Structure 1
Amino acid sequence: TFSPPDGAVSNTTVSVFNAQRTKTPTGEAHTIRGFAYTTEEPGKLAVKLDGVPVKAPYWIIKLGPQTFSTNGQYEYAVVTDNFRVTLFVLARDPEGFKLKYDQEVKQFVKDAGFTEWLNEPLETYQGNDCLYAQPPQ
């Protein structure tokens, strides 16, 4: 079953807010919003982002322990697509993730076949100098 996290719109839909900085940790901010919808298959969502004409597959292939915050949120999620070309490790606490789960997840994605030039993991810088966008209220 789908357990909606904070930001849930319903039991089948969750709001999406993606943000990134260009070229440097304090570079120009780019954001996009949308929604993720559950499908018939557990862990396989469809994401519709504002201004993008088609939905994108968003397959959750691993979840971390539900020990983040007092309401038991997942520590991290490993996400790919139906072609296994994209790979995202989404951690709620990048520093804590690096200390507790980094090696476990690296082994998981290696064992899952994310080893080719097209889909191998590329670490994103998450230093203390990063400016993170605040999610919309």
Structure 2
Amino acid sequence: MTIFQTKTQTRHGASPRTAHPAHPATTIVPLYGEIDIFTSPALRERLLRVLRLSTGPLVLDLSRASFCDVSGLAVLVGTQRRARALGITLRLAAPRSQTVRLLRVTGLDRVLTTHGSDQGEPRPYSLPAQTRTGD
């Protein structure tokens, strides 16, 4: 089962409403468990809701996602397309080696920007100065 959440935090612990609009916050969505044909529909809906509320870059933290199949990749690609249409940058943080291999085999490693993993153990994504993380 995949559990996902969004957390909100801005520089110096300020409320997201006080963030300066010229510096939109980064939204980080940590994903847990398996991203597969059974969990992808709920994840897609969740990411669409997150995109509607986002004003800055969107980071999907995959460090705790134990598995991703092609239906999960479809959700990631669809989310990237929607994000791009809204002027939002999507990044994948710390994907596990199985996900990295799947991205390479499908050629999506050239389309989806990833940070924090190179076939080894996932490394934590280092947060930008202004970050939106929470629900």
How would you bin the TM-score normalised by the shorter chain? 0.3 to 0.5
Q: Whose helix proportion is higher, 1 or 2?
A: 2
Q: Whose strand proportion is higher, 1 or 2?
A: 1
TM-score by length of 1: 0.34
